[in-house]
Amino acid sequence: MPMSKRPSPAKTPTDPAESVTRDLAEARAETAASPGSASAGMGTAAPATEPKRTRRGRPGYDRETLINKATEVFVARGYDGTSMDTVARELGITKSAIYHHVTSKEELLRLAINRGTDALASAVESESHREDLSALDRLRHAVHSSVLILIEYHHSVTLLLRVRGNSAVERDALEQRRQIDMKIRALVAEAIAEGGVRADFPPGLVTRLLFGMVNSITEWYRPSYPVDPETIAEAVTAMAFAGLAIPRRE
Amino acid sequence: MPMSKRPSPAKTPTDPAESVTRDLAEARAETAASPGSASAGMGTAAPATEPKRTRRGRPGYDRETLINKATEVFVARGYDGTSMDTVARELGITKSAIYHHVTSKEELLRLAINRGTDALASAVESESHREDLSALDRLRHAVHSSVLILIEYHHSVTLLLRVRGNSAVERDALEQRRQIDMKIRALVAEAIAEGGVRADFPPGLVTRLLFGMVNSITEWYRPSYPVDPETIAEAVTAMAFAGLAIPRRE
């Protein structure tokens, strides 16, 4: 069952979210290669309060870009061990330029994580309620969408998967994640009850393994990975629902 | 295809590796509840150079137990941020009691990680060479064994999966992991070539997803998890090779 209706967001060159999935080093190299470009424009005087769409390859340090870049720094260096001084240095801007947009490192973490969780939650929510589909098909769509979102927002989702509940922001993130997990688990249970999914393993275990596979993509996915997001999503759903083995003909 | 030949190690009460999978807090509570027991016996004078098997519930701080407990501390607190002072405090022993057995924190990390990698490498190695089996069956066995080993040595494997190459020890661990991955990937490619595994996705992607699912078990597995290791291994192989969906009868 091919599911190619949803365009692969990471392949759309003009998508503003693309910078989330670019390597920070790459972005820095570009910035360095073009002095005086818009990428150097976020000083203390920059009054950007609304997200500003920038041209490809010229990351402007408006609020959206700040969040995207900070997300990458948190992922690359670890959130706990990264000070706002380090974030500022890595982004090549001043700390006050960051505080122009956010009040604290915690707020930056919340904004960074919310990217991914909001997208995941709304995808799972909308797939869960499609009454025209069997529970199995809704589950399959939810898994497929989750893979694409995870790839599109992979730094954000990586942060989400790493939080351990050390602060109010982290506990909120864990709670959002738990809500998403519960919706998926309910879908798995419904698919089992409907006879669409094998009943020989507990729904909780099936959910953990399914999303273990999905979430593991954050570990290795890079925009340079030679397989496109749609094919990755197809591979996950094919393996999870139909299996890798080719049935032997009798 | 049930694969229940290999007994589940974590269920064998006398297995010395059991302490690896016990919660540190539990172990400490036990230690506190039995003053004067063997669990308090690791002082600077303890000349344990060989692993010593201790009775269940009475962890002796010989070399093996030290490594097991330190592994748990590294997993719980993060390796980088954990000093030898902290390890000693968490274990309720002196730092010199630790240095009696190892020369550095790095060495402790190497020993901690080697538990898991050695077991994984030898399992994958032995499954790879069984000439009586198809590549698909060898792959299935390798996945099944990997799940059981990951559960038995789950703190060790968790550490392995977290290292980022920040030191010689970490780079060695990454290289061992890469060797194991390459063997699995070769098995996947062989199974595809043999016609046992679907050919519509690249072997590298299939391997990543397969072991993404397997490795994700470290994220949630606890000895208190209500499903036994053998059933978890069965669920992984069933899902990966046969799929979750029940084929519709025409």
Kindly report, residue by residue over A139-189, the tens digit of the pLDDT: 999 999 999 999 999 999 999 998 889 899 999 999 999 999 999 999 999
Min distance B44 CA to chain A CA atoms (Å): 34
Q: Which CATH class is domain A112-242?
A: mainly alpha
**How many C-alpha atoms does A106 have within 13 Å on its Cβ side?**
9
Residue of chain A with shortest Cα separation from B193: A246
| Domain at B110-242: CATH architecture | Orthogonal Bundle (1.10)
- Model ipTM? 0.73
pLDDT band at A51 (very low <50, low <70, confident <90, very high): very low
Domain locations along chain B: 15-102, 110-242
DSSP reduced 3-state for A13: coil
Min distance A162 CA to chain B CA atoms (Å): 10
A238 — contact with chain B (CB < 8 Å)?
Answer: yes
CB contact residues (below 8 A), chain A span 173-202, against chain B: 195-198, 200-202
Average pLDDT, chain A: 79
pLDDT band at B167 (very low <50, low <70, confident <90, very high): very high
**How many C-alpha atoms does B84 have within 13 Å on its Cβ side?**
16
User: Which residues in chain A have their CB less than 8 angstroms from residue B236's CB?
Assistant: 209
Work out the average pLDDT over A215-236.
Answer: 96
Partner-chain contact A245 B197, CB within 8 Å: yes
Longest C-alpha distance within chain B, in Å?
74
Which helix (H) or strand (E) is A183 found in, with range?
helix A168-194
DSSP reduced 3-state for A74: helix
SS3 of chain B: CCCCCCCCHHHCCCCHHHHHHCCHHHHHHHHHHCCCCHHHCCCCCCCCCCCCCCCCCCCCCCHHHHHHHHHHHHHHHCCCCCCHHHHHHHHCCCHHHHHCCCCCHHHHHHHHHHHHHHHHHHHHHHHHCCCCCCHHHHHHHHHHHHHHHHHHCHHHHHHHHHCCCCCHHHHHHHHHHHHHHHHHHHHHHHHHHCCCECCCCCHHHHHHHHHHHHHHHHHHCCCCCCCCHHHHHHHHHHHHHHCCECCCCC
Q: Does residue B26 have a pLDDT over 50?
A: no
Q: Does residue A15 have a pLDDT over 50?
A: no
Residue of chain B with shortest Cα separation from A237: B243
CB contact residues (below 8 A), chain A span 57-86, against chain B: 80-81
* Other beta carbons within 10 Å of B3: 16
Q: Does residue A55 have a pLDDT over 60?
A: no
Q: What is the pLDDT of residues B115-152, one digit of tens each?
A: 999 999 999 988 878 888 999 999 999 999 999 999 99
* Other beta carbons within 10 Å of A66: 26
Partner-chain contact A213 B209, CB within 8 Å: yes
Any idea what the Cα angle at residue B178 is, between residues B176 and B179, rounded to 5°?
65
Q: What is the pLDDT of residues A96-139, one digit of tens each?
A: 889 989 999 999 999 999 999 999 999 998 887 888 899 999 99
B246 — contact with chain A (CB < 8 Å)?
Answer: yes
User: Which residues in chain A have their CB less than 8 angstroms from residue B190's CB?
Assistant: none
A166 — contact with chain B (CB < 8 Å)?
Answer: no
Partner-chain contact A201 B236, CB within 8 Å: no
pLDDT at A62: 86
Work out the average pLDDT over A35-54.
Answer: 36
pLDDT band at A249 (very low <50, low <70, confident <90, very high): low
Work out the average pLDDT over B107-121.
Answer: 95
Rg (CA), chain A: 20
pLDDT at A47: 36
Average pLDDT, chain B: 79
Of B80, B209, B244, Cβ closest to residue A241: B244
User: Which residues in chain B have their CB less than 8 angstroms from residue A206's CB?
Assistant: 235, 239, 244
